[in-house]
């Protein structure tokens, strides 16, 4: 399919060890398709670590400068916050949204390489296959 919409995805338990919930395609998606994983408004807010409850830090992206990008509301999180890590992602983030890197089959989990969120390269954090940060 060359288009996605609000009824193109669902949340369900991931088969990735330790990943919890993941985002799954409800139909086949062609390569290069913009994925409708979030509405057009801002997806995250930048906050200093001190302003975030410890229990919520796991849902935020560390910017590497003492700040984190967090969902604007923790009681309403867009699907992109549920994307799990893979060393072989089927999705990439671009300035204007998230796109399929290859054909995605209905029922397949939508995954992304978490390392894209950390720039420059020397500041990237490596993840193991479960999406957890490697300690060394």
Best CA proximity match to 84, nearest among 12, 27, 29, 30: 12
**For the chain, which residues make up each domain, given as ranges?**
1-38+78-131, 44-77
Strands 109-112 and 84-85: parallel
pTM confidence score: 0.71
Give the CATH H-level superfamily of domain 1-38+78-131: SET domain (2.170.270.10)
Q: What pLDDT, in 10s, does the model give residues 38-69? A: 765 566 788 999 989 888 888 888 888 889 88
Mean pLDDT computed over 74-89: 86
Structural tokens at position 30: 């062609």
Structural tokens at position 131: 């999406």
pLDDT at residue 33 tops 50: yes
pLDDT at residue 27 tops 90: yes
Provide the residue count of the chain.
136
Q: 45, exposed or middle or buried, with CB in 10 Å at 0-12, 13-18, 19+?
A: middle
């Amino acid at each position: 399919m060359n288009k996605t919409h609000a009824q193109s995805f669902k949340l369900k338990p991931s088969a990735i060890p330790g990943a919890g919930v993941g985002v799954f395609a409800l139909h086949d998606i062609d390569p290069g398709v913009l994925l409708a994983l979030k509405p057009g408004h801002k997806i995250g807010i930048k906050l200093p670590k001190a302003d975030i409850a410890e229990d919520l830090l796991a849902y935020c992206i560390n910017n590497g400068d003492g700040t984190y990008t967090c969902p604007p509301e923790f009681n309403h999180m867009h699907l992109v916050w549920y994307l799990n890590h893979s060393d072989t992602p089927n999705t990439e983030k671009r300035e204007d949204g998230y796109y399929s890197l290859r054909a995605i089959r209905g029922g397949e989990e939508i995954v992304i390489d978490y390392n894209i969120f950390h720039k420059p390269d020397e500041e990237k954090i490596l993840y193991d296959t479960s999406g957890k940060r490697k300690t060394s």
